[in-house]
Structures are given as C-alpha cells and as structure tokens.
A = this chain, B = another copy of it.
Amino acid sequence: MKRTLIKEILLSGEAGTEVNIKGWVRTKRGSKSVNFIAMNDGTCLGNLQVVADVASFDEDTLKDTTTGAALSVTGKLVASQGSGQSVEIQAEKIEVLGTADPEKYPIQPKKHTLEFLRENAHLRMRTNTFSAVFRIRHAMIFAVHKFFSEKNFYNIHTPIITSSDAEGAGEMFRVTTLPFDETPRNEEGEVDYSQDFFGKSTNLTVSGQLEGELAAMALGQIYTFGPTFRAENSNTSRHLAEFWMIEPEMAFADLNDNMDLAEEFLKYLIQYALDNCNEDLEFLAKRQEEDEKNKPKEERNMNLIEKLQFVADNDFVRLTYTEAIDILRNSKPNKKGKFKYPVEGFGTDLQSEHERYLVEKKFKKPVILTDYPADIKAFYMRVNDDNKTVAAMDILFPQIGEIVGGSQREERLDVLEAKMDEMGIPKEEMSWYIDTRRFGGAPHAGFGLGFERLISFVTGMGNIRDVIPFPRAPKTCEF
C-alpha cells in the first residue's frame, strides 16, 4: 500500500479511507486497553494520532513504540474524538521499522535547552522547534527564487574558491592541497603556490558581488545565492564562519532602485512566510511567548506574527547617515552618556547600540541608512557629488540589526581606478573587474542579504546557530 504523507492527511484526509503512514513516534499515552500514538513524518508540524487497541497487537510491538521509534502504520481514518484534528487513524497493522531506546535516545519528550540541541544538531531537526525552523528556511529559499524569477533576474552561481583577495570584506580561509610538511618553496624560501592545485594562492569567497557585477553587465539583472565565509574569531550569536548570502545586482540602476528592490524583496519574503508557514509560525510565536513570560513586560518582544505583519505592511524609514548622526548626537542616551561609544559627528562608525536606538526607539520601524562616509566603506561604492560620502545603504531591522548592505557601484573608470590606487587594491589582478567599466559600463547597483539573519528574524530564533542546520564557528565544525 502506498504511503500517504501526514501533511496530506491533515489537510484533506477523509474518514473512512484506508491509509498507510510512515513516520516517527512523538509521544505515546494510553490505558490498559488503548494506546494513543502521536506520529510525525516531518512534512508538517502536526501529528497524526494513531489509536491502537492493545488487544490487537503483540506486546513487543507496542513496547517498542517509544518516542523516536520509526513506524509504519496501516489503518482506517476515523473522525477524531479529540480537539484540534479532524481525523485520526485506527491502527490495523503496526510495524516497528526502527526502535529508539528511551534510556539512550537523547531527544525525549521534554523541554531541552537550545544548547543541548545544538550539541545534538544531527537529531535536533526531529523536534517541533527545529523542524519548524527548517521548513520555514525552505519556504524562504523557494520564495527568494520565485521573487527573482518573476522579475527576470537570473540566478548566477559565483565561485566559492577564489584567487581574488581584494574584496576586503573580511578574513579568509585558505584552500590548498599543499602539505604542511615539506611545503614546496621557491629560491627565496617563500611558499611556492605555483605548485598548489590552482597554481596560485586561493581562498574561500567572502562575497559573490564582484563576479555578480560581471554577470549583471551581461544579463542585465542577476542574483547570487550561495555560501560565503569569514575566518573571523567572532564567537557570538550573530556570526557564523559559513553562511548563505543572496546578492542581487542590477545594471542600469541607482541607489533608489536598489532601496526599492531591497524593501520590496524583504516584504515579499516576510509576506510569503505569513501566507505559507502559518502553522510553523504560530508554534514559534507561542514558543517565544512562553520563553518570555517571566520577563518584565517592557523586555518582551512583540508577538512574532504581529512583528512580521508590521514589517510587511509598513514603509521602511529612509534617511542619510548624516541625518542619523544628527539624531543620535542629540538623543537622550548620547547626552546622558548611555552609549558605550559616544556619537560625536560625521565619520563615526555606527555601532549596534546606535542602530538599535534608531530602529527600536526612534522610528520603531526598519530603517534604511544611506550615503555613508567614503572612508568607512568599500572601494567599489559610487562616490557622491559631495566627494565625501558614497551611495551606500544598510537596512537595519529590529533585534537583528543590519540585514542588508548594498550600494550603487562606481561605474566611472577614472574614479574607480583612482580609488583603487588610493586604497591599495591591485589593479592588475582585478583587471577583469575593471573591464566592466572599460567596455559598455553603466550605472549599476546591488546588495547582499544575510540569509541566516533573515531566518533569525522570521523565526524569532535569537541565536544564528539555530537557523542553519550545521553551524560553523570558531572551534565548531561538527557533523
């Protein structure tokens, strides 16, 4: 008999139908005469209740139906007596496919800490919380591709291994096949990378943007969606050494087009989650409320679903860096010395505390900051007419801070080359990049969205290690 997914049964199963389900036991309760087994097959949050008359099954089978065991159950769907679900299954045949010894199986039906589950990341997807998170993550992946496909943006797989080290986005991991013992060296005693696999020194990419620009200047509108890497010793709840980024790039676009695209994109993703992940979001919203019920009211977060709907429905605030500095300088926390990093004036690099003040206290909305000082931004950002700011933008969200960073790119060959000289970027090595300005150059713009930060915002999970299946961080590379 062909297996039916529990998701399908809960959506549209009809009493009287004979079905086979396969899945895992979440809980079992019951009396001497009847057992109620909550079965889950991962396709949705909801369990299907299996009703088993104790007399109809041999003792061993029912003894083995403990939390975590894999079962195949055949029987008839019947109208459910309990609340919540319309049908349950009256078991005719139960086969234990795999047991889960309650003395040894780590995922028991009780509240485990997130830390404990992180150590058991190979099993944590079997919990309600993590299966909800990863189903939502999937929905967001699909929504990213759907959004861009419908707008005629083409997905480009930019390289993971790169010889370019000029992007300046952060510390890099070396990729090599050279041995540490008897490393080949040249006459000067330096490592001879010409004997490395790629014939040169190579690293893991920190961003697909520069290659993305090449593609945008050919296909018009592109986006990347791939892993990026930072070898930074940041052991925080906001950083990963390996994380996924989405980087759209548009030819013939300026900073305003860029902001419009980013705002539309974020709202689309959030609305998509609200429309398609309701059950999982409701669960996570309840989870958050329970977690925070002992906190003072002012420290509690907005209800997860209300928060998402609020962001999807309201315009983001747009203001320049210079305007933001004015607001911050004159703000109460700055005047009262409450900021760890006092805001003095133009040129100050904004810290998380400043971003949070703007988003959470001042505007109570997502904020797009634009036109940052040229000195604190990358070489490829377009210089504004004031000659001291660049056409950059950061989008700041409540709780998570910067979720998007982008800019209009410097398309003027002479300005770009002068900037590269000034910042010590090797022009010869980057000749391929400069070619897009030598030949058929045009205004263009793009941004990067940290995918895990998005998922963190959408699910309300506070630690970024809980929204990627197998997190990589300093001293952390399990599974």
Report Cα–Cα, A188/B83, bound state, in Å.
Answer: 66
Number of copies: 2
The 8 Å CB contact of A180, one of B3, B180, B432, B439, is B180
Produce 1/0 per residue, A113-147, CB < 8 A to B: 00000000011011000110011011001100110
Q: Residues of B contacting A42 with CB < 8 Å?
A: 154, 218-221, 251
Q: Is A86 an interface residue (CB 8 A)?
A: no
Q: Is A46 an interface residue (CB 8 A)?
A: no
CB distance from A138 to the nearest CB of B (A): 4
The 8 Å CB contact of A155, one of B142, B159, B221, B479, is B142
Q: A145-B141, A161-B472, A176-B174 are in contact. Are A43 and B220 (CB under 8 A)?
A: yes
Cβ A439 vs Cβ B220 within 8 A? no
Cβ A197 vs Cβ B173 within 8 A? yes
Report Cα–Cα, A25/B43, bound state, in Å.
Answer: 50
Cβ B439 vs Cβ A219 within 8 A? no
**Residues of chain A at interface, number, CB under 8 A:** 105
Produce 1/0 per residue, A72-113, CB < 8 A to B: 100000000000000000000000011111001101000000
Report Cα–Cα, A40/B146, bound state, in Å.
Answer: 24
Report Cα–Cα, A183/B149, bound state, in Å.
Answer: 47
Q: Is A170 an interface residue (CB 8 A)?
A: no
Report Cα–Cα, A159/B469, bound state, in Å.
Answer: 8
Cβ A440 vs Cβ B98 within 8 A? yes
Cβ A220 vs Cβ B154 within 8 A? no
Report Cα–Cα, A246/B318, bound state, in Å.
Answer: 40
Cβ A439 vs Cβ B174 within 8 A? no
Q: Is A358 an interface residue (CB 8 A)?
A: no
Q: A23-B220, A241-B197, A244-B157 are in contact. Are A442 and B477 (CB under 8 A)?
A: no
Q: Which of A214, A218, A251 has the most CB of B within 10 A?
A: A218
Report Cα–Cα, A7/B151, bound state, in Å.
Answer: 11
Q: Top 5 closest A-B pairs, CB basis?
A: A98-B441, A42-B220, A125-B218, A42-B219, A198-B477
Give me 7 A-to-B residue pairs in the complex whose CB atoms sit less than 8 angstroms apart, sorted by A's number. A24-B440, A100-B438, A162-B477, A180-B180, A180-B191, A198-B475, A198-B477
